[in-house]
Amino acid sequence: MSHANTETKINGHVAPGFEGVRDVFAAQFESGKEVGASFAIYKDGDYLVDLWAGHADKAKTKAWARDTLPNVWSTTKAVTALCFALLVERGQLSYDDKVVKYWPEFGAHGKDQLTIGQVLSHQAGLSTLREPISTEDLYDSEGLAARMAAAEPLWEPGTRSGYHAITFAYPAAELVRRITGKTLGQFFREEIAEPWKIDFHIGLPESEEGRVAEMLAAVNASALDPTNMTDLQKLTFSNPAPSETLPNERAWRAAEIGSANGRGSASALAKLFGNVAKGGTAEGVSLFSAKSLDALTKEQILNEDLVLGLPGSWGAGVLRNLGGLLYGPNEPSYGHSGWGGSFAMSDPVAGIGISYVMNQMGPDLAADPRAMALLGASYEALG
């Protein structure tokens, strides 16, 4: 036994019957798969599971707290998608609206027929650009959005999905800005996070820096093996190519990147998606109704994704739980997963939100084995 296996203290609580979830969570620390992590299940205004453990830094000097803030990468996309669902709820846009209705310049090079729903489901043909996208470019939301508007798509828009791993954020933020006058991070904070008391951030205020988790690169090589990639996959994942540890820089955290730089705890994300699972009213504030949530989760496209190389069913910015493969056994569930392991999901059948976040990244874009083990134990307990 190496000293790495000294027992990790598991903090938080589980409801009776959910002890198996705590056992799986603990086992993943004992086997050395985790440095710091949190996992939560939220239902009806309460936590069935609310666990956290480990360390927020590589040196293991800083304990992971309930409100520690790791970078959740693409799990952020599900939160961005909720911002659009709220605009649909308020009648400020429809997913069937053409993007050019709000942003005429976006119509260049045959993109004039694209709908907002198609853009949010990765059909714009802009998973990358033909010219380089630098790290600094990622911090200039309006500038990169303008370049995407002017760009020639890499495939015929509206015909196939091709996962916009990073670039998803920029047309989304530009639409929110043009329709509301607010930045995406500001809109989320003022319209969703504050009324519902959700501790999640797209663009981290300086005041919250003390709660940041240091992100740690995957121990095993990335699942993104360039030798088996198509040209489009290679181009998308290399331009831009943020490193796993880029979130450890303040410039990244300060930016608002609605595809990749959200920060929050599992308890915050489980609460957000649990509120949505129960119909969209919480803290005495009704934000969503069946109308907007049905529109959010309605299938925009089902195909083999050109960038992921996997079959997938996309809603308007969320992954639908096709065949119960990603987010538990209930098909109406939906959510998003992030590079390295995190996820957040809403299960309207069980009326729950579930989330897992961590700082030790794994090599996968989705279906991280730690996440899947926790989900399996959760649904076993839910019966």
Q: Which of 76, 60, 56 is nearest to 6 (CA)?
A: 60
Q: Which of 2, 31, 38, 74 is catalytic?
A: 74
Helix ranges, 239-368 (H): 250-254, 266-277, 290-297
372-68-141-114 Cα dihedral, nearest 10 degrees:
30
Q: How far apart are CA 293 and CA 308, in angstroms?
A: 26
User: Strand 352-358 and strand 343-347: pairing?
Assistant: antiparallel
Residue 50's SS3 state is: strand
Q: Which of 326, 327, 329, 355 is nearest to 342 (CA)?
A: 355
8 A C-beta contact, residue 359 and residue 215: yes
Residue 282's SS3 state is: strand
Question: How is residue 48 written in tokens?
Answer: 């069935």
Residue 334's SS3 state is: strand
The neighbouring-strand residues paired with 69 are 212
At 380, which amino acid appears? E
- Respond yes or no: is residue 2 known to be catalytic: no
Q: Which of 166, 174, 134 is nearest to 150 (CA)?
A: 174
Q: How many Å is the Cα radius of gyration of the chain?
A: 19
Q: Which of 297, 372, 346 is nearest to 43 (CA)?
A: 346
Q: How far apart are CA 285 and CA 120, in angstroms?
A: 26
Active site residues: 74
